[in-house]
Amino acid sequence: MNKENLLKSFTELYGDVRPECFFAPGRVNLIGEHTDHEGGYVFPCAIAFGIYALAAVRPRDTVRLYSLNFDNNKIIEVPINNIKYDKANDWANYPLGVINIFERHGYKLPSGLDILFCGNLPEGAGLSSSAAIEVLTGRIINDLFNFNLDGVKIALYAQEAENDFVGMHCGIMDQFASSMGKKDNAVLLDCASLKYEYAPLNLGEYKIVITNSNMPHSLNNSAYNLRREQCEAALSDLQKVIKIKKLCELNLSEFKAVKDAVKSPEALKRARHAISENARTLQAVQALKAGDLKTFGELMNASHISLKDDYEVTIPELDILAELAWAQDGVAGSRMTGGGFGGCTVSIVKESCIDEFKKHVGEKYLVRTGRKADFYVTETADGARKILN
């Protein structure tokens, strides 16, 4: 990000006011997909790609928002006392939703805001641009109006905005990773209790490589909410024979003993994924702590297969990318990451093999799909923060 260019754009849009600068990272989930909404464990890390913002308090009781990432964009201006979901506001519903949720919880904005957003996360890639802009907005209003909320509470309000304002029934993982990420670490998060620990990413000679299928997804228009409903149906059936509040309270042996209570074959597969993925996540973290990258990678591969066969959220392009990565030298493991139905894979690749990985996977993906893949070798990052001058 060129801060001077961003400041110039801010001044052109909003006038000669000195704004504060903020950043919130995207995230990549190493393992633990579609377990967060079922009370399971996840293992994401914040990445160096994300969304920047310049923000300043304004005297009038309106919020003005602008993003440099969209063509033919315009300033979106909404009165603070009349913030409601409007399809015409498009991307701005995410930050507006956060403001709305803050106000619902009693954190009333005493004046208006001018915010300029600019991100370097690929749109629709499944790296949590929506969570980043939500957490970023929460961090902005928390800091500028001295609400003194901690990062966990900001993450929860950001999730609530996506659930209740935007209508996307996501779990807490994306917002938590963006808010609470820590450089050189991943976060093992128990989504049922919000207990978490940082696990050092001691990858040695390996790096995290994100491969963008360039098949964008819009989870709000996908089958994501249907998967949630199917999990809820499985839970409802299981609760008739065993006392649980969330699917991931069960381990695999317990699930096998009661799985016949689930009536729908689709719901059974969704539940099997969530419970087995939860077990894989805990095994993977233990393997990483023990320096066993081989086992960690094998569990990543198994995660992808479960997401393909049981949760059914992969698409042919993601399956091709994973299969090509598995066949490549120097790859410890690879899987789709994010909600699915498009987006990216995440691979653990030996640094000396990255160029060959990009070349061979890219060429074969183009031949098989007619699409170009983009590759990002990413570093981990700290969570949402104010950037000092």
Residues 6+ apart with CB under 8 A from 387: 3, 21, 22, 23, 52
Neighbour count for residue 117 (Cβ, 10 Å): 26
User: Do 32 and 149 form a contact (C-beta atoms < 8 A)?
Assistant: no
170/187 Cα distance (integer angstroms): 18
- State yes or no: pLDDT of 246 exceeds 80: yes
- State yes or no: pLDDT of 1 exceeds 60: yes
Of the listed ranges 25-39, 125-139, 169-183, 316-330, the one predicted with least confidence: 125-139
- State yes or no: pLDDT of 124 exceeds 80: no
Please give the torsion angle defined by the CA atoms of residues 59, 147, 185 and 94, in that order, rounded to the nearest 10 degrees.
-50
- State yes or no: pLDDT of 210 exceeds 80: yes
* Helix, strand or coil, per DSSP, at residue 34: coil
What percent of the chain is modeled with pLDDT above 90?
A: 87
DSSP labels, 65-78: EEETTSTT---EEE
pLDDT of residue 125: 65
- State yes or no: pLDDT of 110 exceeds 90: yes
Active site annotation includes 382: no
The alpha carbon of 359 is separated from its chain's Cα centroid by a whole number of angstroms, namely 27
Q: End-to-end CA distance of the chain, in Å?
A: 14
Q: How confident is the model at residue 160 (pLDDT cuts 50, 70, 90)?
A: very high
pLDDT of residue 367: 98
User: Do 68 and 99 form a contact (C-beta atoms < 8 A)?
Assistant: no
Residues pairing with 79 in the sheet: 62
Catalytic one of 174, 184, 237, 329: 174
- State yes or no: pLDDT of 216 exceeds 90: no
- State yes or no: pLDDT of 221 exceeds 70: no
Range(s) for CATH 3.30.230.10 in the chain? 3-200+381-387
DSSP labels, 198-266: EEE---TTEEEEEEE-S----GGGSSHHHHHHHHHHHHHHHTTTS--SSGGGS-HHHHHHHGGG---HH
**pLDDT digits over 85-105, tens only?**
999 999 999 999 999 999 999
345/126 Cα distance (integer angstroms): 9
- State yes or no: pLDDT of 389 exceeds 70: no
| DSSP H stretches of helix in the chain | 3-14, 93-104, 129-144, 151-160, 173-180, 224-238, 252-258, 265-289, 293-309, 316-326, 354-369
Identify residue 8 by its one-letter amino acid code. K
Neighbour count for residue 8 (Cβ, 10 Å): 11
User: Do 84 and 52 form a contact (C-beta atoms < 8 A)?
Assistant: no
pTM: 0.92
Average pLDDT of the chain to the nearest whole number: 94
- State yes or no: pLDDT of 370 exceeds 90: yes
**Residue 245, class by beta-carbon neighbours within 10 Å (0-12 exposed, 13-18 middle, 19+ buried)?**
exposed
Q: How confident is the model at residue 220 (pLDDT cuts 50, 70, 90)?
A: very low
Q: Which CATH superfamily is domain 206-378 in?
A: GHMP kinase, C-terminal domain (3.30.70.890)
pLDDT of residue 2: 74
Q: Which residue has the higher pLDDT, 283 or 219?
A: 283
Range(s) for CATH 3.30.70.890 in the chain? 206-378
Neighbour count for residue 49 (Cβ, 10 Å): 22
User: Do 105 and 161 form a contact (C-beta atoms < 8 A)?
Assistant: no
Tokens representing residue 247 in the block: 């699917």
Q: Which residue has the higher pLDDT, 15 or 388?
A: 15
Task: Say which CATH architecture domain 3-200+381-387 belongs to.
Answer: 2-Layer Sandwich (3.30)
**pLDDT digits over 279-319, tens only?**
999 999 999 999 999 999 999 999 999 999 999 999 999 99
What percent of the chain is modeled with pLDDT above 70?
A: 96
Q: Measured on CA atoms in the order 181, 182, 188, 189, is the torsion positive or negative?
A: negative
